[in-house]
Structure 1
Amino acid sequence: MTAKSNTRDLSVATQLGCTVNFNNQRNSALADHSISPEQELLFSELVIAKHGEAFTTSRKVAELFGKDHRNVLRAIRLLDCDEEFTALNFELTDFIDKNGNPRPECLMTKDGMVFLVMGFTGKKAAQFKLLYIRAFNWMAEQIRTTHELTSWQHDFTRREAVSVANGTLHGQGLARRRIEKHALSNEQAAIHAKLQLCLNLIGEEAA
């Protein structure tokens, strides 16, 4: 798997991360979806969705925590975890730098990220750890919602086909089809709008 060659600027993420108050917050992104557009943008910068899973990269961790990327890669190599955990939560890949050359980086899951940053110390580091956890939780919720909307879309397609078929059988079915067509059209528009919003947030395209 090859990551995108362009790394987004996380300076805004760093600034916002420093100002977020994580103490006694009940309105988490996962709980009530009341996060601001700025937080949504921040979370989508930190955590990526691909093939229905959420992960981040060693470059993003390095940039947010203000560390040299080479040192982050070294810290990952030196982690004291077993082979199974490493295989499940870390994947060595590469990206193309600004000069067009391939460079190593590491993809990691939420568990991998948490294991890695446990050793990072300092007040800002503690805030950024919580920020990353919230970002992963938010992305997991977007992925779950996308799956639910996709199932809803499949169910809609089935019901639409039944409605069309029944409308061709007899006069009563045709009259019912006229009523159902309007309701189904509104439902289809609602599904599409909600699904597209989720896909935009997680950076994926509709099938």
Structure 2
Amino acid sequence: MSNLTKAQEAQFRELVIAKHGEVFTTSRQVAELFGKRHDNVLAAIENLECSDEFAELNFKVCFENSGLQNGKPLKYYSLTKDGMVFLVMGFTGKQAAQFKELYILAFNWMAEKIRTTHELTHWQHDFARREAVSVAKGTEHGQGLARRRIEKHALSQEQAAIHAKLQLCLNLIGEEAA
């Protein structure tokens, strides 16, 4: 999904949320994107004919305080990718088809960002191990010290590249979690 435009990436950040390595959306976001009233989306979720186990895993009831109704808690659902797909498969029309495709792209985009961050973390750990070996060998003898000087330059360039890529991914993930 590296061919996404910046506008698509920005749009996807609004569609899906990432926290603790999990990707999800809310019933409010579904209602907004499909141009439906939120109470109708809540009713659609509550009337789904899925197993209790599936519902428990993919639809978490949540509440938020409303400043508009004297602090009365307002119900909404947090939906996993599977829950969202199950729900919107019942929606029809051209707009529904377009949004189904967009949501699939959004979830896949976020999963790719998370996967890339994990890969960079593993790359960083591998780098730290190789750096430690290089330092240890450099202290053993003269040839090791000469090799260490050469490796140090290459490793410092690699470390800068790792840091830049990791920082970019962390910034993207941080924006989604906010």
User: TM-score, normalized by length of structure 2?
Assistant: 0.89
Distance (Å, rounded) in 1 between the aligned partners of 2:94 and 2:121: 41
* Structure 1 gap segments, 5+ residues each: 1-28
Query: 1:200 is matched with which residue: 160, 163, 171?
Result: 171
Q: Look up the match of 1:178.
A: 149
2:32 is aligned with 1:63: yes
- What is the CA–CA distance in structure 1 between the aligned matches of 2:66 and 2:137, rounded to whole Å? 58
SS of the residue corresponding to residue 102 of structure 2 reads: helix
- For residues 47-89 of structure 1, the C-alpha deviation after alignment (integer angstroms, 9 at most, x for no partner) is 1111112111111111111112222122111111001111221
CA RMSD of superposed structures (Å): 1.9
Correspondence 1:126-137 to 2 at 5 A: 126-137=97-108
Cα distance between partner residues in 1 of 2:57 and 2:91: 22
Distance 1:97 1:192, change over 3 A: farther
What residue is the counterpart of 1:147 in the other structure? 118
Cα distance in 1 for partners of 2:49, 2:115 equals 32
Q: How many residues align?
A: 174
> 1:117 maps to which residue?
88
The CA distance in 1 between the partners of 2:127 and 2:42, in whole Å, is 46
Query: SS at the partner of 1:203?
Result: helix
CA drift at 1:98: 4.8
Post-superposition shift, 1:103? 2.8
Bigger-Rg structure (1/2) = 2
Aligned-pair distance for 1:37? Answer: 0.4
TM-score using structure 1 length: 0.77
The separation in 2 between residues aligned to 1:70 and 1:34, in whole angstroms, is 36
Question: Secondary structure at the residue paired with 1:108?
Answer: strand
Q: Is the aligned partner of 1:162 residue 2:133?
A: yes
Partners of 1:195 and 1:98 lie apart in 2 by 39
Residue 26 (structure 1) aligns with: none
Q: Matches of 1:204 and 1:164 in 2, distance apart?
A: 37
Percent identical residues: 72
Structure 2 runs not aligned, ≥5 long: none
Match of 2:105, SS? helix
| C-alpha contact (below 8 Å) 1:48/1:202 kept by paired residues | no
Work out which of the residue numbers 60, 80, 86 in structure 1 matches 2:49: 80
